[in-house]
Amino acid sequence: MKAPKFSYVRAESVEQVLELLERHGDDARILAGGQSLMPTLNMRLSQLRLLIDINRLQALAGISLQGNRVRIGALTRHVEVANSALVAEHLPLIAEAMPHVAHVAVRNRGTFGGSIALADPAAEMPACVLALGATLVLQSVIGRREVAASDYFQGLYETARRPDELLVEALIPVPRVSSVSVFKELAQRHGDFAIAGVAFHLEIDAGIVADARLVYFGSESKPTLARGASSAIVGRSIDDTSSAAAASALDADLSPMSSPHGSSRMRLHLQRVLTRRALAMAAERARPA
């Protein structure tokens, strides 16, 4: 189908976007990569009065190291994140997740911030920023505010972003040298929406897990830090027993959604399977070479 009628503004500055958001709020929608918004427009699932195209705003793009944090601008395209030496060096979790983000043509256009702003429950980047303890920066005419990823994702496509705010960047702490990360997901076909997935970030000290952030996505309404599973593995070495303990803690941590792609029970099972596989891989990666 064809998109419905809307007004269109090609924004020339961040200030202009913020003023338009201030004035139009929920009636306006930001067009970044458009890889999720355009399908819903073409299918007439989205209704909006004003489309604000931010693709000219190069101030919102780019990856840089700022002290001990990596700044990824909201308009940075997935392909740039995937090709970034900085990301490969400091954020291996995101580098490992990137090939799972849709398909080549979508990664060439879709943006890092767009994925986080939309908060699709099957999306990879929201899970990664949550696992890495990132800070998300929101801007409005009033000013900037920083929101921890753990407070940002609130529900199905629901985030802490107010209608007058623009997501401008993510600030991601550079993990310690002793940390290990693993990303895995299951989809029916490469690049399709995940039916279950994990983004794990662990601190491993002399074979013992000092800290763990086990994040689950695809099955839940939002990326979910599994507190029970995470604490089940802390203070222990990764082996069959501790992995099984983490996997069974998921009963209380998760409440998977049912869909034609899998029942709640099946998805819980898949998340347990991914937990064991990902922890085994974490143990392998933590082993001194």
Partner 1 sequence: MSEDTVQVSLVVNGEPVTRTVPVRQHLVDFLRTDLGLTGSHLGCEHGVCGACSVRVDGRVVRGCLMLAAQADGAEVVTIEGLDDTGEIADLQAAFVSRNALQCGFCTPGMLMTAAELLAERQQRSREEIRTFLSGNYCRCTGFHAIVDAIETTLAKRLGR
Closest approach of Cβ 1 to partner 1, in Å? 7
Distances (CA, A) of 104 to 22, 53, 185: 35, 22, 18
- Cβ distance to partner 1 smaller for residue 44 or 162: 44
| Number of other residues whose CB lies within 10 A of the CB of residue 258 | 12
Closest approach of Cβ 138 to partner 1, in Å? 24
- Cβ distance to partner 1 smaller for residue 39 or 163: 39
Distances (CA, A) of 12 to 38, 163, 263: 21, 20, 46
- Please pick, from the candidates 22, 62, 109, 269, the single residue that binds partner 1 as defined by CB under 8 A: 109
Exposed / middle / buried, residue 45 (Cβ in 10 Å: 0-12, 13-18, 19+): exposed
Distance CA 237, CA 189 (A): 34
| Number of other residues whose CB lies within 10 A of the CB of residue 153 | 27
- Cβ distance to partner 1 smaller for residue 109 or 276: 109
What residues between 53 and 72 interact with partner 1 by CB under 8 A?
Answer: 53, 55
Stretch that binds partner 1, among 66-74, 187-195, 213-221, 245-253 (CB under 8 A): 187-195
Distance CA 198, CA 128 (A): 9
Binding flag, residue 50, partner 1 (CB under 8 A): yes
Buried b (16+ CB within 10 A) or exposed e, 54-82: bbebeebbebeeeeebbbbbbbbbbbbbb
Q: Extract the tokens encoding 98.
A: 């990137």
Stretch that binds partner 1, among 7-15, 227-235, 257-265, 281-289 (CB under 8 A): 7-15
Binding flag, residue 31, partner 1 (CB under 8 A): yes
Q: Extract the tokens encoding 6.
A: 């809307």
Residue with tokens 């020339």: 12
Binding flag, residue 190, partner 1 (CB under 8 A): yes
- Please pick, from the candidates 4, 25, 155, 207, the single residue that binds partner 1 as defined by CB under 8 A: 4
- Please pick, from the candidates 18, 21, 34, 90, the single residue that binds partner 1 as defined by CB under 8 A: 34
Binding flag, residue 39, partner 1 (CB under 8 A): yes
Binding flag, residue 43, partner 1 (CB under 8 A): yes
Q: Extract the tokens encoding 218.
A: 């695809």
- Cβ distance to partner 1 smaller for residue 61 or 130: 61
Beta-strand pair 28-31/50-53 = parallel
Binding flag, residue 188, partner 1 (CB under 8 A): no
Binding flag, residue 88, partner 1 (CB under 8 A): no
- Cβ distance to partner 1 smaller for residue 23 or 176: 23
For residue 225, the one-letter residue type is: L
Binding flag, residue 193, partner 1 (CB under 8 A): no
Binding flag, residue 3, partner 1 (CB under 8 A): yes
* Chain residues that interact with partner 1, rule: CB under 8 A: 1-10, 31, 34-35, 38-39, 41-43, 50-51, 53, 55, 79, 99, 102-106, 108-109, 189-191
